[in-house]
Amino acid sequence: MMIRTAAKADVKAILDIYNEAILHTVATFDTVERTLEQQEAWFDQHGSRYPIIVAELGGTVVGWASLNAYSDRLAYERTSELSLYIHHDFRGKGIGKQLIQRVLEEGKTAGLHTVLSRIVEGNDSSIYLHRLYGFEYIGVMREVGFKFDRMLDVILMQKML
C-alpha cells in the first residue's frame, strides 16, 4: 500500500468513499450525496496548508484523510479539523492508522498548531484511533445531529501539533 498526497485525479475516488459514508454511516452528518463539482471545489480549497492524503492499494484509492480549515476567521488559521474515511471493504486493516499518522505529519510541516475531530457517539474505533495518536477528549455536544431517524451526540477531541 502507498500513502501519498492526493492529486486532482483522486477526487472521484475520494468522492465515492465519502458518498458511501453519507448514505450508510453516521461518520458524516451530510445527508445528501456530493457531486463531483462540489468535491473538486473542496479539493481546491485545501492548498498546501491543509493536506489531503490517500491510501492506494493496487492502483485503487481505498481511503483518505484531510486536514480542513476549521473556520474562515483569520485567528483560526493554524487550527484544522481532521476528516478520515476508509472504503467499506478495507476498514479494520490498519489503513486509518497510516493515513492519520501521515496527515498529522503533513499538518505539522505546514505550520498547523491544533487539530480537532468531531466523532459521532458510538464510533469507538475512531475514538481509539485518535487516542493512539495523542488526541484528548475535550467534550461532547449533545444531540446536535439528526440522521437515520435519531438524534446523535458528537465527541470532541483535540491534538496539539
pLDDT of residue 47: 85
Residue 48 has pLDDT above 90, yes or no: no
Percent over 90 (pLDDT), the chain: 98
Query: Is the pLDDT score of 27 beyond 90?
Result: yes
Given pLDDT bands bounded at 50, 70 and 90, which one contains residue 5?
Answer: very high
pLDDT, mean of residues 9-34: 97
pLDDT in tens, 76-120: 999 999 999 999 999 999 999 999 999 999 999 999 999 999 999
pTM, whole model, 2 decimals?
0.95
Q: Which set of grid coordinates corresponds to residue 9?
A: 485525479
**pLDDT average, residue stretch 49-72:** 96
Residues 18, 40 contacting (CB under 8 angstroms): no
What residues have CB less than 8 Å from 81, skipping those under 6 apart?
67, 68, 69, 70, 115, 116, 117, 118
Q: For all residues of the chain together, what is the average pLDDT?
A: 97
